Chain A
């Protein structure tokens, strides 16, 4: 599987970041496994330690399995000013997890992230590739319920 993803790209080192993105995005648990690193290392002829160096440098990559849906709540000042702390508290309560953890049913992982660039509608969170703005505690509950139902 990893090999297939790799071969979509030319075997040059500058494609490393794109390959890692695709591996992580297509993995049902949204992470990059030890086997994946080995496969990429073989394909690009780049030592594994370099790949781990890159993996751990960028905050979007995970080396641990995560949930089906990744919730990324913006923790930047414009969102903070508009009350992102209350949203975080609400998310923690309804999901029953802390930041960086995955719900027991494997459906959600809660993460914090830097600015999502939708500050005009702060506070904001991103679930997978969808952005939700002007959040209130009620809205958050609604959004999570809907996604739970969909899965």
Chain B
């Protein structure tokens, strides 16, 4: 073993990789070799550090310097200035209001975060089992196997108050207890890594950044309920996560932490990885079980619950990746330590994925009960650009929208549910005041219609009906009574659908009606989209006073609907316009405006057309 002078931690989470982290790593290898100091620097590829928007990011120890948005060209300077001369490169550090922040611990993004599940994410090399063990890994498994009975383990989890992190918030210990009490010889434990919620990437980051932790959590669960086989069900869209967990399993087997009679305790355990194939509904536990069995991922009615009749008809526990990620630390630090964080009914921390019009997009872990304001404005750094905060969608397509009035609501399972949103798996999509909520609702509905498995009719037919109404509203054909019809349909679909997908799919529509009803009304009554998003309910117009007659718009128009001359200035022929927005983008003097509502010419044309069709119908 050799001692190195510098630890260079390069974030190789999927976000940073997509921004070019691997090329930077290669460049470091080259430059370090050129300067002959390769043996002085310990380069580590870590999992996600969190602030994806700053990517590619890296942290350099012993100083703990945090660099953001590093490019291949910056590598030479980092090596010569920082590594050789000991002068950190200030221009790559975070700048907050003219203040340069050098150390990672001072970065505002990390200030209110408490990392439990993400403890090692971005700190250790996920492909090295030694590094996991060095940070206390597998200690909990050792404690459990050598000194605790299965019931003791369940009791600790019960006392900790841990609830499922996949969305529903079902108390983890109840599921475990049910399977524990079942006398069946064969039992299974499944890790649900079919993270399909748009805007959610905590499972991916945890699986990629600290796979051994998830594996350890699963093994402790298996011991507590007497299961000897486990399955990781991971989306095929996450190839790196699949590779990392497979590697973790083989490393654990090699070291004897997995297999027959572990530590001579009499406990044997084996786990396999199964991949999805692009079906959102497989995140639902019964659908997931059927998918592992090699069938279509259709849900089946509950009861029987999987804890009674799951995989191949045997008692099965399905837990989310993040739930498993919490287990080893709870065992190691105790139930009391965990339950001191959070609110009365929602204990511990929760990982959120911040996305949308927010400055610090990325992965964060905060104590339950933190207010939305703290989450979005302190941790997330507030809105990006000039836009003002308008709404936040929590819980993906199953969740709901909350508004500026809810910023002081604490984030926990109950508070969110009361207000029509839900925790979901933890996706937080922040939207600025340029967004049209009817359009957003339509977008989520479109997603659910596509992902509905088609097994039960409320979801298959009902959601399609809702989508058609929304399409009608956003294309200017909305009618009085459409809002009430949407509510009626939404409520019945919620009550009648077979699984969670259908039961929660109307939420985005219902919550946007609840909080942004006036937007629906202007779409229907005034045939106008005030945010100029719904193309049929807005138009482009050239302001003659500002137009300089340069003809650029006319030349860029794909349907040649802009005509004019330098003297007469240019006009858009509304009936031919396809609203591609090219003219708006290219105008050098910003003489083109987006105007809410249908242009009078188009409206007259539509009316005439309607008369013709009506005559035809009569």
Q: Tell me the A residues contacting B by CB distance below 8 Å.
A: 12-18, 20-21, 46, 50, 53-54, 57-61, 76-78, 80-82, 89, 113-122, 124, 126, 129, 131-134
Contact of B18 among A53, A115, A118 (CB under 8 A): A118
A77-B393, A78-B429, A116-B237 known; A18-B201 Cβ under 8 A: no
| B55 neighbours in A (Cβ, 8 Å) | 120-121, 133
| A60 neighbours in B (Cβ, 8 Å) | 236, 277-278
Q: Which residue of B lies closest to A93 (CB)?
A: B558
Is A115 within 8 A of B198, CB to CB? yes
| A21 neighbours in B (Cβ, 8 Å) | 236, 275, 277
Q: Which residue of B lies closest to A116 (CB)?
A: B237
24 residue pairs of the A-B complex, CB under 8 angstroms, read A14-B274, A21-B236, A50-B295, A53-B296, A57-B453, A60-B236, A61-B278, A76-B198, A76-B199, A77-B444, A81-B429, A81-B431, A113-B237, A114-B278, A115-B198, A115-B200, A117-B204, A118-B15, A120-B55, A120-B363, A121-B19, A122-B361, A126-B237, A131-B14
| B280 neighbours in A (Cβ, 8 Å) | 114
Q: Report the bound CA distance from A133 to B292 in whole Å.
A: 31
From residue A40, how far is it (CB to closest CB) to chain B in Å?
11
List of 8 A-B pairs having minimum Cβ-Cβ separation, nearest first: A120-B52, A133-B18, A76-B198, A58-B277, A60-B278, A16-B294, A59-B278, A117-B201
From residue B168, how far is it (CB to closest CB) to chain A in Å?
19
Q: Report the bound CA distance from A119 to B364 in whole Å.
A: 13
Q: Which residue of B lies closest to A55 (CB)?
A: B277
Q: Report the bound CA distance from A50 to B198 in whole Å.
A: 30
Q: Report the bound CA distance from A23 to B368 in whole Å.
A: 45
| A118 neighbours in B (Cβ, 8 Å) | 14-15, 18, 52, 201
From residue B435, how far is it (CB to closest CB) to chain A in Å?
7
Interface centre among B199, B294, B353, B580 (most CB of A within 10 A): B294
Is B196 within 8 A of A115, CB to CB? yes
Q: Which residue of A lies closest to B360 (CB)?
A: A120
Q: Report the bound CA distance from A71 to B55 in whole Å.
A: 23
Kindly supply a per-residue 1/0 record for chain B positions 353-374, scoring 1 wherever the CB is within 8 Å of any chain A CB and 0 otherwise.
1111100011100000000000
A81-B431, A117-B195 known; A57-B274 Cβ under 8 A: no
Q: A14-B293, A81-B356 are in contact. List 16 more A-B contacts (CB 8 A).
A: A12-B294, A14-B274, A17-B274, A53-B296, A57-B297, A60-B277, A76-B447, A78-B429, A114-B196, A114-B237, A114-B451, A115-B201, A119-B361, A120-B53, A120-B361, A120-B362
| B294 neighbours in A (Cβ, 8 Å) | 12-17, 46, 54
Is A131 within 8 A of B18, CB to CB? yes
Q: Report the bound CA distance from A66 to B45 in whole Å.
A: 34
Q: Tell me the B residues contacting A by CB distance below 8 Å.
A: 14-15, 17-19, 52-53, 55, 195-201, 203-204, 235-239, 274-280, 291-297, 353-357, 361-363, 393, 427, 429, 431, 435, 440, 443-444, 447, 451, 453, 580
Q: Which residue of B lies closest to A85 (CB)?
A: B581
From residue A89, how far is it (CB to closest CB) to chain B in Å?
8
Q: Report the bound CA distance from A131 to B20 in whole Å.
A: 10
| B195 neighbours in A (Cβ, 8 Å) | 117
From residue A108, how far is it (CB to closest CB) to chain B in Å?
19
Q: Which residue of A lies closest to B199 (CB)?
A: A78
Is A115 within 8 A of B15, CB to CB? no
Contact of B440 among A15, A58, A77 (CB under 8 A): A77
Is B277 within 8 A of A121, CB to CB? no
Q: Report the bound CA distance from A126 to B278 in whole Å.
A: 14
Q: Which residue of A lies closest to B54 (CB)?
A: A120
Is A133 within 8 A of B200, CB to CB? no
Is A61 within 8 A of B355, CB to CB? no
From residue B602, how far is it (CB to closest CB) to chain A in Å?
22
Is B197 within 8 A of A115, CB to CB? yes
A53-B296, A131-B14 known; A58-B278 Cβ under 8 A: yes
| A82 neighbours in B (Cβ, 8 Å) | 356
Is A119 within 8 A of B292, CB to CB? no
Q: Report the bound CA distance from A18 to B233 in whole Å.
A: 12
| B52 neighbours in A (Cβ, 8 Å) | 118, 120-121
Is B296 within 8 A of A57, CB to CB? yes
Is A115 within 8 A of B199, CB to CB? yes
Is B355 within 8 A of A78, CB to CB? yes
Q: Which residue of B lies closest to A59 (CB)?
A: B278
| A132 neighbours in B (Cβ, 8 Å) | 18
From residue A150, how far is it (CB to closest CB) to chain B in Å?
15
Q: Report the bound CA distance from A73 to B222 in whole Å.
A: 38
Is A134 within 8 A of B431, CB to CB? no
Q: Report the bound CA distance from A115 to B237 in whole Å.
A: 9
From residue A121, how far is it (CB to closest CB) to chain B in Å?
5
| B14 neighbours in A (Cβ, 8 Å) | 117-118, 131
